[in-house]
Amino acid sequence: MSNQPKPNRILVIGGVAGGASCAARLRRLLEDAEIVVFERGPDVSFANCGLPYFVGDVIQDRENLLVATPEIFRERFEIDVRVHTEVTRIDRASKTVEVLKRTSGERYQEPYDTLVLAPGAQPVRPPLPGIDLPGLFTVRNIPDTDVIRAWLDEHQPKRAVVIGGGFIGLEMAENLVHRGLHVTLIEMLPQVMGPMDAEMVATVHQALQDNGVDLHLNCAVSGFERGDSSPLMVKTKSGLTFPADLVILGIGVRPEVTLAKDAGLELGQRGGIRVDDQMRTSDPDIFAVGDAIEVRDFITGEWTAIPLAGPANRQGRLAADVIAGRDERFRGVQGTSVCGLFGITVASTGANEKTLKRAGIPYDKVYVYGSDHVTYYPGSEPIELKLLFSPDDGKVLGAQATGRSGVDKRIDVLAMAIQMGSTVYDLEQCELCYAPQFGAAKDPVNMAGFIAANHLREDSPLAYWEDYEKYKDDPPMILDVREEDEVEQFHVPGSVHLPLGQLRNRLKELPRDREIWVHCGMGQRSYYAVRVLRHYGFQARNLTGAMKLYQALN
Ligand code: FAD
Find the 507 Cα to ligand 1 centroid distance in Å.
62
Q: Does the beta carbon of 397 lie inside 6 Å of ligand 1?
A: no
Q: What are residue 163's DSSP bridge partners? A: 186, 249
Instruction: Return the ligand 1 atom nearest residue 88 CA.
Output: 18
Q: Does the beta carbon of 335 lie inside 6 Å of ligand 1?
A: no
Q: What is the C-alpha separation between 295 and 301, in angstroms, rounded?
A: 9
Instruction: Return the ligand 1 atom nearest residue 259 CA.
Output: 18
Cβ neighbors of 535 (< 8 A, separation 6 or more) are none
- The answer to whether the CB of 368 falls within 8 A of the CB of 451 is yes
At 390-449, the pLDDT tens digits run 999 999 999 999 999 999 999 999 999 999 999 999 999 999 999 999 999 999 999 999
Take atom 42 of ligand 1 and give the residue whose Cα is closest.
309
Take atom 15 of ligand 1 and give the residue whose Cα is closest.
119
Q: What is the C-alpha separation between 505 and 516, in angstroms, rounded?
A: 17
Take atom 16 of ligand 1 and give the residue whose Cα is closest.
119
Q: Does the beta carbon of 48 lie inside 6 Å of ligand 1?
A: yes
Predicted confidence (pLDDT) at residue 1 exceeds the cutoff of 50? no
Q: Does the beta carbon of 312 lie inside 6 Å of ligand 1?
A: yes
Starting at the earlier edge strand, list the strands of the sheet with 303-304: 273-274, 293-296, 303-304
Q: Does the beta carbon of 338 lie inside 6 Å of ligand 1?
A: no
Find the 254 Cα to ligand 1 centroid distance in Å.
11
pLDDT for 173 equals: 98
Find the 312 Cα to ligand 1 centroid distance in Å.
8
Instruction: Return the ligand 1 atom nearest residue 316 CA.
Output: 51
Q: What is the C-alpha separation between 148 and 142, in angstroms, rounded?
A: 10
Q: Does the beta carbon of 14 lie inside 6 Å of ligand 1?
A: yes
pLDDT for 5 equals: 66
The Cβ of residue 98 has, within 10 Å, a number of other Cβ atoms equal to 15
- The answer to whether the CB of 410 falls within 8 A of the CB of 383 is yes
Query: What percent of the chain is modeled with pLDDT above 90?
Result: 95
- The answer to whether the CB of 451 falls within 8 A of the CB of 523 is yes
Q: Tell me the pLDDT band of 230, cut-offs 50, 70 and 90.
A: confident
Q: Tell me the pLDDT band of 3, cut-offs 50, 70 and 90.
A: low
Q: Does the beta carbon of 19 lie inside 6 Å of ligand 1?
A: yes
- Residue 506 Cα to chain centre, angstroms: 48
Take atom 52 of ligand 1 and give the residue whose Cα is closest.
290
Backbone angles phi, psi at 482, to 5 degrees: -80, 175
pLDDT for 472 equals: 81
- The answer to whether the CB of 334 falls within 8 A of the CB of 419 is yes
Q: Does the beta carbon of 410 lie inside 6 Å of ligand 1?
A: no
Q: What is the C-alpha separation between 72 and 343, in angstroms, rounded?
A: 35
Q: Tell me the pLDDT band of 4, cut-offs 50, 70 and 90.
A: low
Q: Does the beta carbon of 310 lie inside 6 Å of ligand 1?
A: yes
pLDDT for 231 equals: 86
Predicted confidence (pLDDT) at residue 228 exceeds the cutoff of 90? no
Q: Which of 49, 339, 430, 520 is catalytic?
A: 49
Find the 141 Cα to ligand 1 centroid distance in Å.
8
Active site residue 219: no
Find the 257 Cα to ligand 1 centroid distance in Å.
13
> For 220-231, what is the mean pLDDT?
90
Closest by Cα among 394, 333, 404, 388 to 356: 388
Q: What is the mean pLDDT of the chain?
A: 96
Q: Does the beta carbon of 478 lie inside 6 Å of ligand 1?
A: no
**Bridge-based pairing state of the strands 241-244 and 232-236:** antiparallel
Closest by Cα among 311, 347, 345, 317 to 331: 311
> For 241-263, what is the mean pLDDT?
97
Find the 263 Cα to ligand 1 centroid distance in Å.
22
The domains of the chain, with CATH numbers, are 9-122+254-323 (3.50.50.60), 136-251 (3.50.50.60), 343-456 (3.50.50.60), 462-553 (3.40.250.10)
Helix, strand, or coil (residue 407): helix
Predicted confidence (pLDDT) at residue 356 exceeds the cutoff of 70? yes
Q: How many residues does the chain have?
A: 554
What pTM value is reported for the model?
0.94
Q: What is the C-alpha separation between 509 and 538, in angstroms, rounded?
A: 12
Q: Does the beta carbon of 140 lie inside 6 Å of ligand 1?
A: yes
* Dihedral over Cα of 97, 41, 26, 319: its sign: negative
Helix, strand, or coil (residue 308): coil
Q: Does the beta carbon of 161 lie inside 6 Å of ligand 1?
A: no
The Cβ of residue 512 has, within 10 Å, a number of other Cβ atoms equal to 10
| Helical packing angle, 70-77 and 17-29, nearest 10° | 10
At 493-535, the pLDDT tens digits run 999 999 999 999 999 999 999 999 999 999 999 999 999 999 9
Find the 553 Cα to ligand 1 centroid distance in Å.
37
Take atom 28 of ligand 1 and give the residue whose Cα is closest.
49
Instruction: Return the ligand 1 atom nearest residue 44 CA.
Output: 9
Take atom 31 of ligand 1 and give the residue whose Cα is closest.
49
